[in-house]
Structure 1
Amino acid sequence: MTSAGPPRTTISAWTPPVPGITEVFHAHFTDYAYPAHTHDTWDLMILDAGSVDFALDRRRHGITGLDSVLLLPPGVPHDGRTVTETGFRKRVLYLDTSVLPERLSGGAVDHPVLHDAPLRHRIHQLHASLDHPGDAFEAESRLSFVRERLRFHLGTRRPRGPGREANSLAATLRELLDSRITDGISLHEAAALLHAHPTHLIRCFKQTYGLPPHKYLTGKRIDLARRLLLAGRRPADVAADVGFHDQAHLNRHFTRHVGTTPARYAATRTRALW
Structure 2
Amino acid sequence: MRGTGGTARARDGEWARHWQYPAVPGLDLLRARYVRHSFVRHTHEGFVLGAVRQGVEDVVMPHGTLHAHPGTIVMVNPEVPHSAHAGDPEGWSYATLYPSSALVTAIAAEETTLRGTPGFAETMVLDEDTALLIRAVHRAAEEGNALAADSLLRVVLARLLRRHGRSLPARTPKTAGAGTAARAQELLLRRMAEPPSLEELARELDTGTFALLRAFKAAYGMPPHTWLTDARIRAARRLLEAGTPPAAAAAEVGFTDQPHLNRHFTRIVGVPPGAYQRERAISYKTARTRPA
TM-score normalised to the size of structure 1? 0.50
CA distance in 1, matches of 2:164, 2:25: 18
Letter in 1 for 2:34: F
CA distance in 2, matches of 1:34, 1:73: 17
CA distance in 2, matches of 1:137, 1:150: 20
CA distance in 2, matches of 1:21, 1:131: 16
CA distance in 2, matches of 1:34, 1:143: 25
Out of 95, 99, 110, the position equivalent to 2:99 is 95
Out of 141, 146, 153, the position equivalent to 2:163 is 153
CA distance in 2, matches of 1:106, 1:94: 14
Structure 1: gaps spanning 5 or more residues: 157-243, 247-274
Higher RCO, Cα 8 Å, sep 6+: 2
CA distance in 1, matches of 2:159, 2:129: 9
CA distance in 2, matches of 1:41, 1:124: 19
**1:83 correspondence with 2:96:** no
Partner in structure 2 of residue 23 of structure 1: 28
Out of 94, 108, 118, the position equivalent to 1:104 is 118
Deviation at 1:55?
1.5
Deviation at 1:69?
1.1
Partner in structure 2 of residue 34 of structure 1: 39
Structure 2: gaps spanning 5 or more residues: 1-9, 106-115, 167-288
Rg larger in structure = 1
Partner in structure 1 of residue 283 of structure 2: none
CA distance in 1, matches of 2:52, 2:25: 21
Residues 80/114 of structure 1: CA separation in 2 closer, same or farther (3 Å cut): same
How well do the aligned residues superpose, as a CA RMSD in angstroms? 2.3
Deviation string for 1:113-135 (max 9, x for gaps)? 111122112212211101112x1
Deviation string for 1:201-247 (max 9, x for gaps)? xxxxxxxxxxxxxxxxxxxxxxxxxxxxxxxxxxxxxxxxxxx946x
1:35-74 equivalences under 5 Å are 35-65=40-70, 67-74=71-78
**1:12 correspondence with 2:31:** no
Deviation at 1:7?
3.0
Deviation string for 1:176-216 (max 9, x for gaps)? xxxxxxxxxxxxxxxxxxxxxxxxxxxxxxxxxxxxxxxxx
CA distance in 2, matches of 1:27, 1:106: 24
Partner in structure 2 of residue 124 of structure 1: 135
CA distance in 2, matches of 1:58, 1:20: 32
Kept in 1, the 8 Å contact 2:55–2:92? The answer is: yes
The DSSP-based 3-state class of the residue aligned with 2:44 is coil
CA distance in 1, matches of 2:46, 2:147: 22
Paired residue total: 150
Kept in 1, the 8 Å contact 2:53–2:93? The answer is: yes
Partner in structure 1 of residue 126 of structure 2: 115
TM-score normalised to the size of structure 2? 0.47
Residues 14/142 of structure 1: CA separation in 2 closer, same or farther (3 Å cut): same
**Identical-residue share of aligned pairs (%):** 18
Letter in 2 for 1:128: R
CA distance in 2, matches of 1:154, 1:122: 16
